[in-house]
Chains A and B, each alone.
Chain A
Amino acid sequence: MKTSPTRSARQGDKQTPARYILILYVVGQSPKSVNAIANIKKICEENLQGRYELEVIDLYQQPHRAQDEQIIAVPTLIRKIPLPLRRIIGDLSDTERVLVGMDIRSKA
């Protein structure tokens, strides 16, 4: 379920971090999971086009990841990079909170 990473190399823009690595934990095709996937994709495309990696993990397929990553709530979005680690739970329908929570600043 790995989405093909789209990268852009705008090294010159120091204001915004260069790359984002995001992991989204979902369960199967539950409505919240489906929504979350759609929402994060949209947010990424709109704000981080070309400079993010998004990995979607289905816990039904890889249940051990829940323990490894301390996942309790689903869906959980984890921002691995840049540090520090950030987590957002929920179907990511509140775009503003996702942007604040993940500290994503769109290109000015």
Chain B
Amino acid sequence: MTKPTPRSKSIPASRPKSGQKSRTPSEPGRTLLPKAATGIRGLDEITEGGLPKGRPTLVCGGAGCGKTLLAMEFLVRGATEFNEPGVFMAFEETAEDLTKNVASLGFDLKDLIARKKIVLDFVYIERSEIEQSGEYDLEGLFIRLGAAIDAIGAKRVVLDTIESLFVDLPNPLILRAELRRLFRWLKDKGVTAIITGERGDGTLTRQGLEEYVSDCVIVLDHRVDEQTSSRRLRVVKYRGSIHGTNEYPFLIDEDGFSVLPVTSTGLDHTTSSERISSGIERLDAMLGGKGYYRGSSILISGTAGTGKSSLVAHFTEAACRRGDRVLYFSFEESPDQIMRNMRSIGIDLQPWLKKDLLQFHATRPSETGLEMHLINTQKAVNAFKPQAVIMDPLSAFSFGNNEVEVKSMLIRLIDFLKTNRIIGVFTNLTEGGGVLEKTDLYISSLIDTWLLLRNFDSGSERNRGISILKSRGMAHSNQTREFLLTDHGVELRDVNIGPDGMLTGSARLAKEAENRAALLRRNQKDEARRTGLERKRSALEAKIALLRAEFALQEADLQTIIGQEEAEKAQWAQGSVDMGLSRKADAKSSKRKGGSK
């Protein structure tokens, strides 16, 4: 019962320590674990700088997974790029074979050996010749390795595949002890070493080398799904360093090894607010009046025959006309076929091809495998330096159950394009009958602008409709437009929305005619009403004039009467004065007496 107490005490005590440890590498100014850059594309990103310098790293995996190649590239890059000579000790392949094998990857081993940059030592043991009598050790190996290291001042060592000693030599116990001593010795020598090992049953290596080489362990894997092979790399362990823990696809091509980290590009790409035309005026109008954003990703999805490629052709044409370079990846049609088809809607891409503004890459992704395909894409993009990349269609990638792989590839692809500020226009064939607002590839979240093309089946005809499912960062139309493929390109039309729902095609035309007739009728009615009103007004105005005239007449009469009255009144007053005078009225004359007398 006393045990739990010290344990619970020790846990919080150790936690801050580990917390500090993990924080140390990110703190600026502190020295990180020294690392030896491998020079292998992608691997240095995953391992945040390379393999642990001066320590052994275990690279393990099944047969044919690329262990030897990774190790060899590590040495060659070290010798050529980082001025770190290396020793390659081969236990399985002869020096000649190795030289030949890596020559196909562009490594000139002979030259490097002649310049004393690399030492190749092939360890050959014929099991049948060997007997054991009493104890032995591997001092011979130490001496050989030591001599080779000293001969060229090697900083890097590869032991490929040291485990085969267990097959060649008797007494595994001695071997284990000796290998342990060897790895310690390598550390003491301060060389950065790669030790390769075959994957065992349930263990990373057959002989459990991971117990001895514990600084860094990388596992390679080569698997085949649906007849397509893919290679994976995973950093299982990296003592004292942060590292990417995912499985990263890698490939081996004529330039050697490349690992493709998904996260190396991250989400830190700068965005452009420049807008570029979609090639179709009315579509631009739907997209906030200005078209797509430069460097965004556009998805045009729709069922078969909805005009995806035609929209793309419009975009291509417009881009080339602007002087942008367009890289067109076609996965289902040959360039000739595309151009012929596009001529039928009045788009001629040939001149742009000649002007080197447009380049076609027609391949089937299923041929090469997704990783290879991605790398090929990146290579083509790096070589052509386009402003726009078209992939027609993305659905060509998916075969079998490789959704996850396709998605991870597309994420990397879109990331790659965005980092390079290249607008990506992708088409995707959706299967009929399914939900349209979904891609089979689950990439909708990666897409900035998503156009949905649809077929409307009505009145014994099929008509095309286009709508914007989403368009990040711009006001966009919420309406569906009908679009027509004419011999002078794509034309967008308003669809007719009436009480009967959406009408397209001849139904729309009929409805429009009907509407026109109705309008005409209405116009006529209006006209009639207007004239009626006019008439009424003139009648009313005539009446008003009449009344005014009557009123004027009456007014005149009244004025006359008023005038007469006035005159009469005046006359009457004058009359009474005269009367008074004549009657000599005192009352009034006394006033005037003096005056009158």
Interface residues of A (CB under 8 A from B): 25, 27, 30, 32, 35-36, 39, 59-60, 63-64, 66-67, 70-76, 84-95, 97-98, 100-101
Instruction: Give residues of chain B (103-139) contacting chain A, Cβ–Cβ below 8 Å.
Output: 121, 123-126, 129-139
Is A66 in contact with B140, judged by CB distance below 8 angstroms? yes
Q: Name A68's closest neighbour in chain B (CB-CB).
A: B144
Is A91 in contact with B169, judged by CB distance below 8 angstroms? no
- Ordered by A's residue number, 14 sampled pairs between the chains whose C-beta atoms are within 8 Å are A27-B143, A30-B137, A32-B137, A66-B147, A70-B123, A72-B141, A72-B169, A73-B140, A74-B137, A76-B136, A88-B131, A91-B133, A93-B134, A97-B131
Is A74 in contact with B136, judged by CB distance below 8 angstroms? yes
Q: Select which of A71, A85, A98 is within 8 A of B133 by beta carbon.
A: A98
The minimal Cβ–Cβ distance linking A47 to chain B, given in whole angstroms, is 14
- Given the interface pairs A72-B125, A73-B140, the reply to whether A90 lies near B147 with Cβ below 8 Å is no
- Given the interface pairs A27-B143, A63-B144, A67-B144, the reply to whether A85 lies near B135 with Cβ below 8 Å is no
The minimal Cβ–Cβ distance linking B158 to chain A, given in whole angstroms, is 16
A30 and B138 CA atoms in complex are apart in Å by: 13
A66 and B169 CA atoms in complex are apart in Å by: 16
In the bound complex, residues from chain A placing their C-beta under 8 Å from that of B169 are 72-73, 89
Q: Select which of A67, A73, A88 is within 8 A of B137 by beta carbon.
A: A73
- Given the interface pairs A63-B144, A70-B123, the reply to whether A30 lies near B139 with Cβ below 8 Å is yes
The minimal Cβ–Cβ distance linking B382 to chain A, given in whole angstroms, is 43
- Given the interface pairs A67-B121, A72-B123, A72-B169, the reply to whether A90 lies near B140 with Cβ below 8 Å is no
Q: Select which of B123, B131, B136, B140 is within 8 A of A86 by beta carbon.
A: B131
Q: Name B124's closest neighbour in chain A (CB-CB).
A: A70
Is B133 in contact with A90, judged by CB distance below 8 angstroms? yes
Is A74 in contact with B129, judged by CB distance below 8 angstroms? no
Is B130 in contact with A67, judged by CB distance below 8 angstroms? no
Is B134 in contact with A59, judged by CB distance below 8 angstroms? no
A46 and B24 CA atoms in complex are apart in Å by: 67
A74 and B129 CA atoms in complex are apart in Å by: 15
A91 and B136 CA atoms in complex are apart in Å by: 6
Judged by DSSP, the binding face of B is mixed
In the bound complex, residues from chain B placing their C-beta under 8 Å from that of A91 are 133-136
Q: Name A36's closest neighbour in chain B (CB-CB).
A: B134
Q: Name A59's closest neighbour in chain B (CB-CB).
A: B143
Q: Name B129's closest neighbour in chain A (CB-CB).
A: A87
Q: How many B residues have CB within 8 A of the partner chain?
A: 26
- Given the interface pairs A75-B136, A89-B131, A89-B132, the reply to whether A60 lies near B124 with Cβ below 8 Å is no
Interface residues of B (CB under 8 A from A): 121, 123-126, 129-141, 143-144, 146-148, 165, 169-170
Is B134 in contact with A87, judged by CB distance below 8 angstroms? no
Q: Select which of B139, B147, B148, B170 is within 8 A of A74 by beta carbon.
A: B139
Q: Select which of B121, B136, B146, B147 is within 8 A of A32 by beta carbon.
A: B136
A60 and B146 CA atoms in complex are apart in Å by: 11
A25 and B138 CA atoms in complex are apart in Å by: 12
A76 and B168 CA atoms in complex are apart in Å by: 14
Is B165 in contact with A72, judged by CB distance below 8 angstroms? yes
Q: Name B130's closest neighbour in chain A (CB-CB).
A: A87
- Given the interface pairs A59-B143, A60-B143, A66-B143, the reply to whether A94 lies near B130 with Cβ below 8 Å is no
In the bound complex, residues from chain B placing their C-beta under 8 Å from that of A73 are 136-141, 169
Q: Name A98's closest neighbour in chain B (CB-CB).
A: B133
A74 and B527 CA atoms in complex are apart in Å by: 118
A76 and B170 CA atoms in complex are apart in Å by: 13
In the bound complex, residues from chain B placing their C-beta under 8 Å from that of A74 are 136-140, 143
A1 and B136 CA atoms in complex are apart in Å by: 21
Given contacts A66-B140, A86-B129, A89-B130, 12 further A-B contacts (CB under 8 A): A30-B137, A59-B143, A63-B146, A71-B144, A72-B125, A76-B136, A85-B129, A86-B131, A87-B130, A89-B131, A93-B134, A101-B131
Q: Name A28's closest neighbour in chain B (CB-CB).
A: B139
Is A25 in contact with B133, judged by CB distance below 8 angstroms? no
In the bound complex, residues from chain B placing their C-beta under 8 Å from that of A67 are 121, 144, 147-148
Q: Name A92's closest neighbour in chain B (CB-CB).
A: B133
In the bound complex, residues from chain B placing their C-beta under 8 Å from that of A89 are 130-133, 136, 169-170
A86 and B131 CA atoms in complex are apart in Å by: 8
Q: Select which of B124, B129, B131, B138 is within 8 A of A100 by beta carbon.
A: B131
The 3 closest A-B pairs by CB, nearest first: A101-B131, A93-B134, A90-B134
A88 and B138 CA atoms in complex are apart in Å by: 14
In the bound complex, residues from chain A placing their C-beta under 8 Å from that of B123 are 70, 72
Q: Select which of A27, A85, A86 is within 8 A of B139 by beta carbon.
A: A27
- Given the interface pairs A59-B139, A73-B169, the reply to whether A101 lies near B133 with Cβ below 8 Å is yes
In the bound complex, residues from chain B placing their C-beta under 8 Å from that of A90 are 132-136
The minimal Cβ–Cβ distance linking A7 to chain B, given in whole angstroms, is 25
In the bound complex, residues from chain A placing their C-beta under 8 Å from that of B136 are 32, 73-76, 89-91
In the bound complex, residues from chain B placing their C-beta under 8 Å from that of A72 are 123, 125, 138, 140-141, 144, 165, 169
In the bound complex, residues from chain A placing their C-beta under 8 Å from that of B130 are 87-89
A59 and B138 CA atoms in complex are apart in Å by: 12
In the bound complex, residues from chain A placing their C-beta under 8 Å from that of B132 are 88-90, 97
Q: Name B119's closest neighbour in chain A (CB-CB).
A: A67
Is B140 in contact with A59, judged by CB distance below 8 angstroms? yes
- Given the interface pairs A67-B144, A70-B125, A73-B169, the reply to whether A87 lies near B131 with Cβ below 8 Å is yes
In the bound complex, residues from chain A placing their C-beta under 8 Å from that of B148 are 67
Is A63 in contact with B133, judged by CB distance below 8 angstroms? no
Is A93 in contact with B139, judged by CB distance below 8 angstroms? no
In the bound complex, residues from chain A placing their C-beta under 8 Å from that of B146 are 63
In the bound complex, residues from chain B placing their C-beta under 8 Å from that of A94 are 133-134
The minimal Cβ–Cβ distance linking A56 to chain B, given in whole angstroms, is 14
In the bound complex, residues from chain A placing their C-beta under 8 Å from that of B140 are 25, 27, 59, 66, 71-74, 76
- Given the interface pairs A73-B169, A85-B129, A87-B129, the reply to whether A66 lies near B144 with Cβ below 8 Å is yes
In the bound complex, residues from chain B placing their C-beta under 8 Å from that of A100 are 131
